[in-house]
C-alpha cells in the first residue's frame, strides 16, 4: 500500500494560505453555494489568486453581494453570479445551457442541505440526496465537455465534491434511496447523500481521468455555517457543537479554515493527476476508526462496485440513461 498523500498544510490552515503562490490567471472556477458559509471563502481565495470565479447560487441578491465584495478587493471583475437551484434539474440544465462551451478548469460542488425535514425536490427526489448528490451530478455531467476542454498537458481540470464525516452514518440505501416507504431519518438521509458525493467522485474520476479531468471528495471539517439552518440550538448543544453561549469547542474551524481542503483539492501540486480520493485536513484521509465518531473514510464511500452502481442510477435519474 502506498503512503497517503499529504501536504504542507493542516487542519487549521486557511484557504488563502493554500492558494498562496498559485497564479490562476486565465483559469475559470465554478463554486456552488458560494453565497454563504465556506463557499464564500472558497470563491474569495480562488478569485484573489486570479481565477475568473463564478458564484453558482440560488439567491442572486446574496450572491451578488459576495461578488461585489470580492471584486472590490481584487479591483477587477474577478467574480460573477449565475443562478443555480440544485433541487431543480431544469435549473441545472438551464445553467449548463447558459454556460455554453467555455472551458471550466475547477468545479467545486460545495452547496448542500443538512438534516432537513422530509421534503422532496421539484423532481420528486428526497431533498438531501436530490440536492447534495443528484443536482451536483447533473451539473458535473453537463459541464464535463467544458472540463475536458480545460485540461492541458501536465494540468488536469479538477472536480471537488464536498462530502462529510457524516457519510459514516449510512451507506447507500439501494432498496429505498428516496424514503418512499422506509421511515425517514434526517441524519441517515444526510449520511447517504454524503456517501453518494464520495462515490460519485470515485466513479467520475475512473471514467474521465484519462481525458484530463480528476475528481476527489473533501471533508471540510466541523464549522458552524448556514448549513445548520434546520437544527435548533438545543440539538446543536446536545451534539456538543456549541455551548449555551453559542461558542464552538476546540477542533471546530472558521469558515476560511473550512475552505482550505477544498482549495488544496483544487490546486495542490500533490494531487496533480490524482483522483478518486477522500480528503480531510489537507491530506488523504485514513480509514475510519470504528472507535471514534468522527474523521476518516468508511470503506463504502470509496467502494468501486458502489461507485459503478451509483453511476448507473445517477445517469438514469438525471435523464442521461
CATH number of the domain where residue 186 is located: 3.40.50.720
Residue 228 lies in a domain: no
* Number of domains, the chain: 1
Residue in 120, 184, 190, 278 annotated catalytic = 190
Block means of pLDDT (10 residues each) for the chain, 321 residues, are 90 96 98 95 98 97 97 97 98 97 97 93 98 98 98 97 95 98 96 98 98 97 63 65 67 89 98 98 96 90 98 94 54
Q: What is the pLDDT of residue 259?
A: 96
Q: What is the pLDDT of residue 223?
A: 65
Q: What is the pLDDT of residue 2?
A: 80
Residue 286 lies in a domain: yes
Is 190 considered catalytic here?
yes
Q: What is the pLDDT of residue 249?
A: 66
CA pair distance 308, 274, nearest whole angstrom: 19
6: three-class secondary structure by DSSP: coil
Residue 235 lies in a domain: no
Q: What is the pLDDT of residue 227?
A: 61
C-alpha cell at 182: 422506509
Q: What is the pLDDT of residue 79?
A: 98
Residue 234 lies in a domain: no
Environment class of residue 251 by beta-carbon count within 10 Å: exposed (0-12), middle (13-18) or buried (19+)?
exposed
CA pair distance 206, 306, nearest whole angstrom: 13
The boundaries of the domain holding residue 117 are 15-222+254-317
Residue 147 lies in a domain: yes
Residue 6 lies in a domain: no
Residue 230 lies in a domain: no
CA end-to-end span of the chain: 36
C-alpha cell at 246: 453559542
Residue 95 lies in a domain: yes
Q: What is the pLDDT of residue 257?
A: 95
Q: What is the pLDDT of residue 114?
A: 87
Q: Where are the alpha helices (DSSP H) in the chain?
A: 15-19, 37-48, 60-74, 89-99, 127-129, 136-150, 186-208, 233-238, 255-258, 260-267, 304-317
Amino acid at each position: 500500500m502506498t503512503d497517503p498523500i499529504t501536504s504542507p498544510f493542516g487542519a487549521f490552515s486557511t484557504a488563502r494560505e493554500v492558494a498562496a503562490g498559485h497564479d490562476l490567471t486565465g483559469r475559470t472556477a465554478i463554486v456552488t453555494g458560494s453565497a454563504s458559509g465556506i463557499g464564500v471563502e472558497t470563491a474569495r481565495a480562488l478569485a484573489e489568486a486570479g481565477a475568473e470565479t463564478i458564484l453558482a447560487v440560488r439567491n442572486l441578491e446574496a450572491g451578488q453581494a459576495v461578488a461585489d465584495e470580492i471584486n472590490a478587493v481584487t479591483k477587477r471583475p474577478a467574480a460573477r453570479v449565475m443562478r443555480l437551484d440544485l433541487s431543480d434539474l431544469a435549473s441545472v440544465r438551464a445553467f449548463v445551457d447558459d454556460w455554453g462551451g467555455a472551458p471550466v478548469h475547477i468545479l467545486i460542488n460545495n452547496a448542500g442541505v443538512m438534516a432537513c425535514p422530509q421534503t422532496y425536490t421539484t423532481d420528486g427526489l428526497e431533498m438531501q440526496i436530490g440536492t447534495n448528490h443528484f443536482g451536483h451530478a447533473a451539473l458535473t455531467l453537463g459541464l464535463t465537455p467544458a472540463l475536458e476542454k480545460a485540461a492541458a498537458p501536465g494540468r488536469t481540470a479538477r472536480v471537488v465534491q464536498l462530502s462529510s464525516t457524516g457519510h459514516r452514518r449510512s451507506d447507500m440505501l439501494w432498496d429505498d434511496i428516496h424514503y418512499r416507504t422506509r421511515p425517514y431519518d434526517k441524519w441517515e438521509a444526510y449520511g447517504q447523500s454524503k456517501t453518494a458525493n464520495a462515490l460519485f467522485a470515485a466513479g467520475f474520476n475512473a471514467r474521465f481521468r484519462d481525458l484530463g479531468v480528476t475528481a476527489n471528495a473533501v471533508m471540510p471539517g466541523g464549522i458552524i455555517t448556514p448549513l445548520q439552518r434546520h437544527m435548533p440550538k438545543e440539538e446543536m448543544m446536545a451534539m456538543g457543537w456549541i455551548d449555551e453561549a453559542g461558542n464552538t469547542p476546540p477542533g471546530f474551524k472558521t469558515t476560511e479554515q473550512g475552505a482550505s481542503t477544498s482549495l488544496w483539492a483544487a490546486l495542490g501540486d500533490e494531487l496533480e493527476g490524482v483522483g478518486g480520493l477522500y480528503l480531510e485536513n489537507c491530506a488523504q484521509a485514513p480509514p475510519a476508526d470504528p472507535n471514534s465518531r468522527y474523521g476518516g473514510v468508511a470503506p463504502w464511500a470509496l467502494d468501486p462496485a458502489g461507485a459503478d452502481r451509483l453511476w448507473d442510477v445517477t445517469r438514469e435519474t438525471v435523464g442521461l440513461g
